[in-house]
Amino acid sequence: DTEGLLRIKEENQKHYRRAQRHQEKKEKIQRHNRKLGDLVEKKTYDLRTQHEHLAELRRTHILELTSVIFPIEEVKTSMRDPADVSSESDNAMTSSTVSKLAEARRTTYLSGRWVCDDHNGDTSISITGPWITLPNNGDYSAYYNWVEEKKTTQGPDMEHNNPAHTISAALCYATQLVNTLSLILDVNLPKKLCNRQVNTRGDEFCGDNLSRHKFTRAVKKLNANILHLCFSQHVNLDLLHPLHTLRNLMYLVSPDTENLGR
């Protein structure tokens, strides 16, 4: 029994020494983990600082781009609300008629159906200059109506102020701006739209006259890309409308957009 007791004591001492070595190893691992934790925290802070610096650089480039090359502005129109004019000319007009006139002013017939547009007639959005604007309600029917007329009319087009030319130019500039913004922001666009000259053919909007189907499809792709950029920069969703091409772009590149460049 005494010999067995001695053997047990020796084994216990071995286990105790091994436990001490394991404890030292555990403490060493804990110190290493704390050191790594501090390093990760420092690297995370440095990364966040670099992201903020990069976002500020992107923001600066975008604001320079949209102030020098692609300025986007809201152009006021002189149209008055029909409800106001009618109420002034006819004091006996009922309030229900006035409200119906105001509602009619905010309604637009677009692609075979009536849609509500609060900005209809009030303002328009210009790009690269006040003379290049797009309809606020997204109704670009003037373009493909002009294309249809060109098919039936012979001779050169002498109407330089044709709204179809303005729509085509505005959409062309918007496509160029969106593609440039995607490069600056490092955001991949869901739809591919070309804005380069290839074999004497223009881009999606400034090349050959597009049919109604191709034109509408290109506009939808452009609007999808703009909304994708707006979502990536956390633009207030209440400001966006799927048909307001330049207005959505204006909100995206506005200096008031807090997350621009993220």
Bridge partners, residue 113, by sequence: 110
Q: How confident is the model at residue 124 (pLDDT cuts 50, 70, 90)?
A: confident
Given this model, what pLDDT does residue 94 score? Answer: 58
- 41-68 per-position pLDDT tens digit: 999 999 999 999 999 999 999 999 998 9
Given this model, what pLDDT does residue 105 score? Answer: 53
> What is the average pLDDT score of the chain?
79
Given this model, what pLDDT does residue 114 score? Answer: 53
3-state secondary structure the chain: CHHHHHHHHHHHHHHHHHHHHHHHHHHHHHHHHHHHHHHHHHHHHHHHHHHHHHHHHHHHHHHHHHHHHCCEEEEECCCCCHHHHHHHHCCCCCHHHHHHHHHHHCEEEECCEEEECCCCCCEEEEECCCCCEECCCCCCHHHHHHHHHHHHCCCCCCCCCCHHHHHHHHHHHHHHHHHHHHHHHCCCCCCCCCCCCECCECCCCCCCCCCHHHHHHHHHHHHHHHHHHHHHCCCCHHHCCCCCHHHHHHHHCCCCCCCCCC
Q: How confident is the model at residue 153 (pLDDT cuts 50, 70, 90)?
A: low
Given this model, what pLDDT does residue 157 score? Answer: 53
The residue among 190 and 151 whose pLDDT is bigger is: 190
The CA distance from 227 to 230, in Å, is: 5
Q: Does residue 246 have a pLDDT over 80?
A: yes
Rg of the chain over Cα atoms, rounded to whole angstroms, equals 32
Q: Does residue 8 have a pLDDT over 90?
A: yes
Given this model, what pLDDT does residue 154 score? Answer: 58
The residue among 161 and 199 whose pLDDT is bigger is: 161
The token duo for 89 is 């000319």
Q: How confident is the model at residue 36 (pLDDT cuts 50, 70, 90)?
A: very high
Among 45-49, 113-117, 187-191, name the one with the lowest average pLDDT.
Answer: 113-117
Angle at 215 between CA 224 and CA 179, to 5 degrees: 45
Given this model, what pLDDT does residue 200 score? Answer: 38
Highest-confidence segment of 117-131, 162-176, 202-216: 162-176
Given this model, what pLDDT does residue 139 score? Answer: 77
Given this model, what pLDDT does residue 199 score? Answer: 40
Q: Does residue 208 have a pLDDT over 50?
A: yes
